[in-house]
Structure 1
Amino acid sequence: MSVKQALPFFEDDTRIHNILQVLSDIGLSYLKLGESTPSLSGGEAQRLKLVTYMKRNQKDQLFIFDEPTVGLHPKDVSVLVDVMDQLLDHHATIIVIEHDLDLIANADYINDLGPEGGINGGKIVATGTPQDICYNDESITGKYLKQHLNLFGLLKN
């Protein structure tokens, strides 16, 4: 059965129900109980690992996510942003290596590397808030981030 189906089934077992609820809250309600972890995407595996940390105080905890949005639907990216906000509320520090503009737009601070990939990359092109990056002419990310934020009316002048 899926996590979603298991929630009402285990409602009388608080310990199991609480774990299932966190799985559902982080956007993994579709996973099947007993599903083999090698079948999960990288983003799913990273979120699954988060379940063990979600109810704890994360002060002095550093989380590093490598492309956690790969394969995620935009609604799931929104759930991931909410999960990261919860970690921050519990005093965690988060570093994310990412290309998804929705996630980048929610960052507190960005180190934009480039100007390209491979041997043509690896240099710090721009640093600052998403707004700072948008107005940095050296940043390719900034060009697309500016369009993205303008599209949703989120860019402040």
Structure 2
Amino acid sequence: MITFKDGKTTIKAKLATAVQPANSGDIEGKGYALEIVGVVKSDTGEEMVQETLSVDFADKFAPSYKSVTAGVYGSTKGFTLEFDEEIKFLNNSAGLGATDLVIKDGGKTLEAGIDYDVAVKDGNKIEVTLKGDDYKDFKGTLKVSTKETVKYITDKAGNALNKFEDKEVKIN
């Protein structure tokens, strides 16, 4: 069984009784890996051919929110959102990407392009730079969410960012 969670792929298989450890506690959580060496035989005793199987997997997993931190590139003029995989803006348009975010200062919703700009940094981060008369020197707490339906922030395969809500960041 192959699963994907929190940016990690896990392959689970059941070992034949003859090769299972006497106590599964001997290997759980200790970072052990199964390596097949030598001759592998089937249930009928037939020797299995050694080969490498290469399969392309289509990325069907959307990127997810990981964290938010105050500051942008050493400045206090904004904050940085981090995701669990590399992201991009559809058609390389940061202006459109900015509209996928909902940033609130109390009851006021900031306007993309007027109160803030966005940029991708280090592949998996979005830097949000506050600007304009009301926010260029802002100090306080903001709440960040995505719109109900994200359209313009995607991963490299085109999967739209998973929705997230009310992530608080304190700007000093």
Compare CA radii of gyration and give the structure with the larger one.
2
Q: Which has the higher contact order (CA 8 A, sep 6+)?
A: 2
Higher-strand-fraction structure: 2
With the shorter chain as reference, the TM-score category is under 0.3
Higher-helix-fraction structure: 1
TM-score normalized by the length of structure 2:
0.26
TM-score normalized by the length of structure 1:
0.27
